[in-house]
Chains A and B, each alone.
Chain A
Amino acid sequence: MTTLPGTTTRKLGLVIDLDTCVGCHACVIACKGWNTENYGAPLSDQDPYGAAPSGTFLNRVHSYEVQPAHGTAQLVHFPKSCLHCEDAPCVTVCPTGASYKRIEDGIVLVNESDCIGCGLCAWACPYGAREMDQAEGVMKKCTLCVDRIYNDNLPEVDRVPACVRTCPAGARHFGDLGDPESEVSRLVAERGGMDLMPEQGTRPVNKYLPPRPRDRLDEVDVLAPLLAPVAEDARGFLGWLDRALARL
């Protein structure tokens, strides 16, 4: 059934720190690397070495410039993947029941053998989290590395999504956002974690930590008085030259 569960036992998701993300795209590559050879169909590329390469990715990093009313602009790197919404519109529009949200941990998944590749779920997602694989004709999306996080064959340290495991800046955190005592929930509470497009009513599980306010130095500029221009108008010979040249 593509109706959503009323509640989920846990709410597994990511907390992404926009303050510490350095925009290296390592999470993009780690995600593609893991997911192209594990859960479901591979993530294909079209014309990868040609003039117009294009491919399926479950995680992409945007970069935005933010210009405050006063002061300098700041650059914010912005990783974006499925937010595993509580009111996931992609699930309810699915005509075949291929898209579903798990009751036990809230992960939104696609059963690829039921997917007809109609693309309606990608239309229903405001975040661009779902991409149709051009080679397989089925919808691909972030699985929260469901095949890593419960995988007893991996060392415990690796039982987190590939993007979290690889992030060199520690900007990505994984945990249960349904438990107010979990590390990720405390992080969200401390840092004012926010929803993307809250007005869309999707109630995303993933949260974003806004960039911290920049440090401010009190403006004591000892050189400024000395740097004021001394002579406004040229006088003497140079003044005459200036006027003569202007007349020519």
Chain B
Amino acid sequence: MHPAPSVIVFTTLSGAGFGLLFWLGLGLPAVTGRVAFALFAIAFTLAAGGLMASTFHLGHPERAWKAFSQWRSSWLSREGVCAVAALLIMAAYGAGLVFFGARLVALGWLGAALSLGTVLATAMIYAQLRTVPRWQTPLTPALFIAIALGGGALLAGQVGAAMVLLALAGLVQVLWWRRGDRALAESATDIASATGLGRIGHVRSFAPPHTGTNYLLREMVHEVGRKHAARLRVIALALGYVLPVALLALPFSHALAALAALCHLVGIAAARWLFFAEAEHVVGFYYGKR
């Protein structure tokens, strides 16, 4: 699949932002006043900034509001509804903490649930697609949620939780990669089932429909960057999971924690790039590209 920068930025930043909002909603850390303002500002910048970035890849961003209507059937719509609800609830909850020093516990819990729900909906947009076997697994929502919880704990300064959750997220990431590398071959779809000609003999693409490229090939048969996939995986694993845990294990300082958070975001962005670049859409079979 085409790794659109807007979607990589969106899922990385908003995942971390909603992760942070989850911990703030639980009252971990229990902050008020200026400190609360700073943490909520970071969370809202990441979450809302990511959402804004996601609208850049739309053909008609001015109609984006229509996407709130189909929450009964569409995970993309659910994501939009959940995200806006989470941001509104957490804005009210944050205002209580910042301006009145009052913690509305129930509101915080609701906001935390909606924040996590947003990350789940984002993951389900990908996990629901039977057309991309690498994505269609319960491990995909597990991975997105583990990263959001671990990254959120890191940003919220929950050192113990961050170390455990990031290590867990790293483990899920490795499992997700291992399963993903076998997923297409183990799916029932191949050029024989795509053309229905497999019962006659071995099928090979003889001529594509046209000499040039098209939307389908650009969007879903992206093959650039596979060459460096193994190296990028090591970089993503080191920066996204191993290094932040190692930095947190050192005696605590704000500079080290900031470095850990930065490392984590860069590593997750690299992993997210691979998430798209390595994903194989079954339409590639029609073009003999798998």
Give the chain B neighbours of A134 by CB distance below 8 A. Answer: 215
Cross-interface CB contact of A94 among B63, B74, B128, B283, cutoff 8 Å:
B74
B215 and A95 contacting across the interface, CB-CB below 8 Å: no
B201 and A67 contacting across the interface, CB-CB below 8 Å: yes
Tell yes or no: A150 within 8 A of B by CB.
no
Closest to B205 in A: A64
Query: Considering residues A57, A66, A127, A211, which has the most beta carbons from chain B within 10 angstroms of its beta carbon?
Result: A66
A1 and B200 contacting across the interface, CB-CB below 8 Å: no
Closest to A96 in B: B66
Binding stretch for chain A, among B22-30, B40-48, B53-61, B161-169: B53-61
B203 and A61 contacting across the interface, CB-CB below 8 Å: no
Q: Taking A2-B74, A67-B201, A131-B214 as contacts, is the C-beta distance between A117 and B58 under 8 angstroms?
A: yes
CA of A74 to CA of B72 in the docked complex: distance in angstroms? 47
A63 and B60 contacting across the interface, CB-CB below 8 Å: no
CA of A76 to CA of B192 in the docked complex: distance in angstroms? 13
Tell yes or no: A187 within 8 A of B by CB.
no
Interface size class of chain B, counting residues whose CB lies under 8 Å from the partner chain: 35 or more
Q: Inter-chain contact count A-B, CB under 8 Å?
A: 191
Binding stretch for chain A, among B94-102, B129-137, B140-148: B129-137
CA of A117 to CA of B202 in the docked complex: distance in angstroms? 38
Binding stretch for chain A, among B75-83, B229-237, B242-250, B263-271: B75-83
Tell yes or no: A179 within 8 A of B by CB.
no
A210 and B197 contacting across the interface, CB-CB below 8 Å: yes
Q: A121: shortest Cβ distance to chain B, in Å?
A: 10
Give the chain B neighbours of A136 by CB distance below 8 A. Answer: 59
B214 and A93 contacting across the interface, CB-CB below 8 Å: no
Tell yes or no: B227 within 8 A of A by CB.
no
Closest to B207 in A: A63
Give the chain A neighbours of B191 by CB distance below 8 A. Answer: 64
Q: B213: shortest Cβ distance to chain A, in Å?
A: 6
Q: Which 3 A-B pairs have the closest CB atoms?
A: A117-B59, A137-B59, A68-B201
What would be 26 A-B contacts, judged by CB atoms less than 8 Å apart? A18-B197, A25-B209, A60-B210, A62-B205, A62-B209, A67-B202, A68-B200, A69-B201, A76-B195, A76-B197, A89-B131, A115-B63, A116-B67, A117-B58, A117-B59, A117-B60, A118-B67, A122-B216, A122-B219, A123-B220, A124-B129, A136-B59, A196-B194, A198-B193, A200-B189, A210-B196
Taking Cβ atoms with an 8 Å cutoff, the residues of A that contact B are: 1-3, 18, 25, 28, 52-57, 60-69, 73-76, 78, 80, 89, 92-98, 114-120, 122-128, 131-132, 134, 136-138, 194-201, 208, 210-211
Taking Cβ atoms with an 8 Å cutoff, the residues of B that contact A are: 1, 57-61, 63-64, 66-67, 69-70, 72-77, 80, 125, 128-132, 187-189, 191, 193-197, 199-210, 212-216, 219-220, 281-283, 286-287
